[in-house]
A = this chain, B = another copy of it.
Amino acid sequence: MTVHNGATAPEGGKARRIYLLLRDEIMGGTHAPGQALPGELKLAETHGVSRVTIRRALDALVGDGLVERRAGSGTVVRQPSSTPVQLKADFATLMPQLQRMADETTARLLSFAYVAPPPPVSEALNLQAGERVQRAVRLRLASDKAFSHLTTYVPERIAQSYSEADLASTPLFRLLERRGVHIDHARQTVSAVLATPETAEALETTVGAALISLMRVVYDTDGAGIEYLSALYRPDRFQLELTLNRVGGGDDRHWEPVLTGAAQRAAQ
């Protein structure tokens, strides 16, 4: 009962589909490390494509370091020693963590300008028609590897209270609070998006790769929007984590997020 498809969506190359499928099966554990995959001929048959196509998919998997091929023997799933997630952030204490990360990672400013806000930004920050925003696009790197692509929007009137240099040395929130802005609360939303040509290039990945998307809006005590942040993360280099404890007894037994004291104290 698909709602879709008065016109069918372009389906895209078979090699790629099979590559994604096999990758998924390997990462999902359907094919255990050390285990041999079905032979190329067998794969070609079960997927209804030619061996050449299977071959191209496997080539890509080799390129990803997921499998190893041995002539005459077969194709084997590699031990996943290669790709642990580098960075993990606790979702509940995400804000202070991100600030700490600022000390431990490098940032590169990709663009900085005052522009007309995109509609969703304008709406989220409740801007007046014609009001402009400062837009900064940053790339965050850990051990020379990009893992995060950040775009921030701050209303012009607020952004003007500090300089680009201030921003480089001091967290935004410190700057704002010194200027008398009363930060009150923030709303965060996590989603998933595909890498666009721009973000793919910045994050050193391929167009169409899945990225974690985090949207954050910060408000002051009057409920006015102060900052709109759109962050994109490479899932193989960054993940959001949350630990929950089962607390209470009887009918009141429920889950509660763990707020690590360390993270809280480091908060600024």
Contact = CB atoms under 8 A, between A and B. Distances in A.
Contact of A119 (B35, B188, B213): B35
Interface stretch (A37-45, A59-67, A101-109, A162-170): A59-67
A245 interface: yes
A191 B207 contact: no
Contact of A254 (B35, B96, B207, B242): B96
B21 A57 contact: no
A184 interface: yes
Contacts of A177: 253
A172 interface: no
A95 B244 contact: yes
Contacts of A20: 194, 196, 207-208
A21 B194 contact: yes
A235 B193 contact: yes
Interface string A1-21: 011111111111101110111
Given A17-B12, A33-B119, A255-B96, A244 B185 contact: yes
Given A118-B32, A193-B235, A211-B210, A10 B4 contact: no
Contacts of A17: 12, 197, 207-208
A184 B243 CA distance: 11
A192 interface: yes
A228 B210 CA distance: 22
A189 interface: yes
A120 interface: yes
A82 B3 contact: yes
Contact of A255 (B2, B204, B206, B267): B267
The 5 closest A-B pairs by CB, nearest first: A29-B118, A254-B267, A12-B12, A7-B63, A192-B192
Given A10-B57, A253-B267, 6 more contacts: A10-B60, A32-B120, A95-B255, A185-B243, A193-B210, A254-B264
Interface of A: 2-13, 15-17, 19-21, 24-25, 28-30, 32-33, 35, 47-48, 56-57, 59-60, 62-65, 82-83, 88, 91-96, 117-122, 177, 183-194, 196-197, 204-213, 230, 235, 239-246, 253-259, 264, 267-268
